[in-house]
Amino acid sequence: MKYFFLSEGWTVGRVWASDGLWQITAWRRQPEIQRLNICLVESNELMWLYRIEDAVLTVEVKPTTSGLVSQTIGQVVLKRLMTAEQVIERLGTAEAKCQLQNIESVI
**How confident is the prediction along the chain (107 residues), in pLDDT tens digits per residue?**
999 999 998 999 999 998 999 999 988 999 999 999 888 888 888 899 999 999 999 999 988 876 555 565 677 898 899 999 999 998 888 776 666 666 666 55
Domain that holds residue 43: 2-105
Question: In whole angstroms, how far apart are CA 71 and each of 47, 63, 65, 84, 91?
Answer: 18, 10, 11, 32, 28
What is residue 29's predicted lDDT score, i.e. its pLDDT?
95
Total domains in the chain come to 1
β-bridge partners, 59: 15, 78
Q: Residue 93's closest CA among 34, 1, 5, 2? A: 5
pTM here is: 0.81
- Please give the Cα distance from 49 to 79 (Å, whole number): 16
